[in-house]
Chain A
Amino acid sequence: MTTTEKPIFVRRASGLVREMDLKDIILWNSVAAGIGLGEVSFLVPYYLSLVPGANFILGGLLALIGGLLIAACYAHFLSAMPRSGGEYVFLSRLTHPLIGFFFSFSMAMLWVLAYAINMQYSASIFVPFIGNFIGSANIPLFWFQPTGIFIVSFVMSFAALAVTIAGMRAYIRYQLIVTAISVIAMILYAVVLINIGSQSNFQTMFNNFAGQYYPGVSDPYSYIMTQAQNAGYQLPSAAAFSFSQTLGMMVIFGFAGMLTTATFSSFVAGEMKRADSGKRQLAGLWGGLVLNGVLAILLSVGLMVVVNPNFIGALGWAQFNQPDLFKVPTVLLTMPFSLFEWLAPSPIFAIIIDLALWLLALTWAIMDLIVLSRLFFAWSFDRLLPSGITHVSDRFKTPTYAIGAAWILGIVFGGLTLVPNYNIAALLSAAGWLVFTVFIAVGLTAIVFPFAKKKLYETMPMKASIGGIPVLTIAGILSVIFFGAMASVYIWGPEYAAAGGAWTNFTTYTLAFFYIAAIVIYFAAYYYWKQKGLDLSLAFKEIPPA
């Protein structure tokens, strides 16, 4: 057929329709990390209690540069192969289907884990959120404990399922609402900071609030810092600049979502309007990354200007090392926001800030479901999973079976939190390793692709060179160096990697299980289809021309 649109690597027609414009993609990438707001609760306490000698802004900028580099590699590949399915799509086609599936499957397991964690996190915010209305003291302790949290997360998971199945158009509307609430929450955040005005005012306000939780202590503010120091906490103000800790800060920024943001739209690349435009793919990835990074840094710095970093660090340190010192009511990892709740001029502030945090966490879980369903869909389309998974609902235009499968897996992983000795922190460490190694694989592909598959490279919609060297190759080299350095944190600075959870034997076994499962599934599919007369390895092999 004659068309006026140049058909370059356009996605497969599969019933999934293109709903997302550039704004939606930027928000998709940004919301995936919390539009800055969701990261503050993670970044600030970790910085001040774990790497106080780091230069916070330099660490953030380094992480941003790493994100921009790997995003540039993804944008090149996505514009050439604008299909939903993340790195699976281009790694399987440009290297080998097994390599693509190997890295993609292990990343998928990460998203299953992320879904379970995000649902738990969302539930653990929801319970105190309800406490704003009925009083936290009126909520039985059961609902703050793992079983209660799991039950709440299970009930809420139906909401996540409903939004996901309703389709991308419905999700985009939902995303806009979450963004609007988050923006309002950020404004309130600024208002509270302005209202507090200074570090000395904060001390007075905190003492007035916290006195009830520290009976007999006249100055809880100073008491918390002194007690933490006595137990080993080092005041950030006394810490000398440390470059290695700054690199550690970079890793923490990475864990806090900077790296997820850098590539997240790759999983829905086929649902983006004009997805074969390299500039659009790059704008979506970089736009989300910069928006998120700048907001995260600004909100964090604003907090540390008004609230003495020594005090925030002490609270953060106590949260992780000496919980009995931490008597003020809050949920782990929402502590900075709890400060606002406690000191806000109106309860409505607390309700809106909690609502934003809760919705953001729920949205992360919804995104994990969407990402997983798209991965299942992509694998199934290439015959690695049963073809029934590719069923796309005519009504919702979404792969309902794939979404259902992802949802069930997420519930199962979430249920693991009820198992005694379940080490979720060890899995977080595995998650960091998986992200870094996948990015290294993508970087290596970016380095060799323009030379190994020159002809294909020449047809890519996005290509440029500097001094005769393709930009894709340069971005690949820098990405490999960057993420090689980040992965090596497990060797040179495991205490920084501990921001994503300590590496234990459980981490090793989990990774080994993921990797072996990927290989087993690939070869099971390979031999199944071979016995039926099809060789899966031929799917993307170039036919030698006559």
Chain B
Amino acid sequence: MLKLFFATDVHGSDVCWRKFVSAGKFYKADAIVLGGDTTGKEICPIIKYPDGRTIVQFFGRKDPVKDPKELPIFEKRIMDSGLYQYYTTPEEYASLVEDEDKVDEIFSKLMTERWKQWIGIAEKTLRGTEIKCLVAPGNDDRFIIDSIIDESDVVQRAEGKVIEIDGHEMINCGWTNPTPWKTPRECSEEELLKKIKDMASKVRNMETCIFELHAPPYATGLDEAPELDSQLRPVKGGTSRASVGSTAVLSAIKEYQPLLGLHGHIHESKGTMKIGRTVCFNPGSMYSEGMLQGVLLSIDKNKVKSYLFTSG
């Protein structure tokens, strides 16, 4: 019997990653799988002024650092919330406001640094154990992180591959259907279906196969998000919700009927749904609170024997 822990959408949260790599031992799992969107979405500038003042711009607030000893505390809060701390000067900060390309460059640098740190933590924690650690970057993740993960002999990049875990083949796709934000790994539904089919064609036994597809299947309750207008503002203050999952993913699951579907992408849509024989899960995400949401599965050869949603 395979005991598998699946979490997703940690979005740069340092503490969530640390919890993820500990989850194998904690839940006595054979394998831990992290779905897509591993990188953060926001830089937190720490501005050092010539007069000695330091201001941290954290979640829209400007917090003065009264004592240098407070800085590590600020840094931890920033990292745990999934943000990237960036030390700068008032002059550079002013120039960055006008320079999107430069900010983009800094983002890539910070993502790379954090992923390198994460690989170190994972290797220290998991080397010598039997726990398999798989990560499949998602639509929000830039391609630069793939090569960093590939360098590790402990963390395995699963995206775009068919991976075997204890006799179960698992196809992994971090790509999603189009989003309003034009993220790095998104494509049309047709292209997405082709990517999934290409991998599915390599699967020997669909009865025991796991589909780890970042986008949730369309209109299944695993894909409800606030409806947005053309300006990307939530409609009716966020009270209007719409299905934003993938029709390609739904269609692939209906066609291939694998054992299990593991999804993420929509943080608010934690839940489970059965599509034919396939049991699909979206454990949701609360990364900004430092809480690692996941689902712990006990899987027999061709049956999901039990599952438990966790909030670690």
Contact = CB atoms under 8 A, between A and B. Distances in A.
Interface of A: 1-15, 17-18, 21, 93, 273-274, 381-383, 392, 455-456, 459, 529, 532-536, 538-546
Nearest to A18: B239
Contacts of A381: 309
Contact of B308 (A17, A392, A538): A538
Nearest to A6: B288
Nearest to A392: B221
B117 to A, nearest CB: 11
Nearest to A273: B239
Nearest to B183: A2
Interface string B68-110: 0000000000001000000000000000000000000000000
B310 A540 contact: yes
A2 B298 CA distance: 31
B305 A540 contact: no
Contacts of B122: 546
Nearest to B294: A543
A5 B238 contact: yes
Contacts of B124: 546
Pick the 3 closest A-B CB pairs, nearest first.
A545-B18, A13-B269, A543-B312
A403 to B, nearest CB: 18
Contacts of B221: 13-15, 392
24 contacts: A1-B140, A1-B176, A2-B140, A4-B228, A4-B233, A5-B268, A6-B288, A12-B309, A13-B221, A13-B268, A13-B284, A15-B221, A15-B271, A273-B239, A382-B309, A455-B80, A532-B298, A536-B308, A539-B308, A540-B311, A544-B19, A545-B15, A546-B19, A546-B122
A1 B37 contact: yes
B288 A7 contact: yes
Given A3-B226, A12-B270, A546-B121, A533 B26 contact: no
B290 A455 contact: yes
Nearest to B126: A546
B306 A544 contact: no
A546 B18 contact: yes
B183 A532 contact: no
Contacts of A535: 27, 308
Contacts of A542: 19, 312
Given A4-B226, A274-B237, 5 more contacts: A3-B225, A455-B290, A456-B289, A534-B307, A538-B27
Contacts of B311: 93, 539-540
Contacts of A8: 286, 288-289
Contact of B298 (A4, A17, A534, A536): A534
Contacts of B179: 1-2
Interface in B254-309: 265-271, 282, 284-286, 288-292, 296, 298, 305-309
B53 interface: no
A546 B22 contact: yes
Contact of A7 (B19, B239, B267): B267
Contacts, number: 139
Given A2-B179, A7-B288, A9-B289, A534 B140 contact: no
A21 B308 CA distance: 32
Contact of B266 (A1, A6, A93, A273): A1
Interface in B132-190: 139-140, 176, 179, 181, 183
B212 interface: no
Nearest to B236: A273
Interface secondary structure of A, over-half rule: loop
Given A538-B310, A546-B22, A3 B267 contact: yes
A225 B266 CA distance: 68
A395 to B, nearest CB: 14
Given A274-B238, A459-B289, A1 B305 contact: no
Contacts of B289: 8-9, 456, 459
Contacts of A532: 298, 305-306
A503 to B, nearest CB: 39
B241 interface: yes
Contacts of B307: 534
Contacts of B26: 538, 541, 543-544
A534 B296 contact: yes
A56 to B, nearest CB: 41
Contact of B271 (A3, A9, A13, A455): A13
A91 B249 CA distance: 37
A21 B236 CA distance: 12
Contacts of A538: 26-27, 296, 308, 310
Contact of A2 (B181, B222, B306): B181
A539 B266 CA distance: 21
A534 B225 contact: no
A98 to B, nearest CB: 15
Interface centre among B1, B139, B244, B309 (most CB of A within 10 A): B309
B125 interface: yes
B183 A545 contact: no
Contacts of A541: 26, 312
Interface centre among A3, A10, A12, A273 (most CB of B within 10 A): A3
B241 A18 contact: yes
B267 A274 contact: no
B21 interface: yes
Contacts of B270: 11-13
B308 A546 contact: no
Contact of A545 (B22, B37, B41, B267): B22
Interface string B210-247: 00000000000111111010001110011101001000
Contacts of B23: 543
A389 to B, nearest CB: 13
Given A9-B289, A532-B306, A542-B312, A4 B284 contact: no
A353 to B, nearest CB: 37
Nearest to A530: B306
A453 to B, nearest CB: 10
Contacts of A7: 267-268, 285-286, 288
B41 A4 contact: no
Interface centre among B222, B223, B311 (most CB of A within 10 A): B311
A534 B181 contact: no
A93 to B, nearest CB: 7
Contact of A1 (B1, B139, B288, B290): B139
Interface string B33-57: 0000100010000000000000000
Contacts of B3: 533
Contacts of A459: 288-290
Contacts of B224: 13
A460 B282 CA distance: 23
A8 B22 CA distance: 23
Interface centre among B121, B266, B271 (most CB of A within 10 A): B271
Given A1-B225, A273-B239, A544 B22 contact: yes
Interface centre among B181, B285, B286 (most CB of A within 10 A): B286
Contacts of A17: 241
Nearest to B76: A455
Nearest to B228: A4
B235 to A, nearest CB: 11
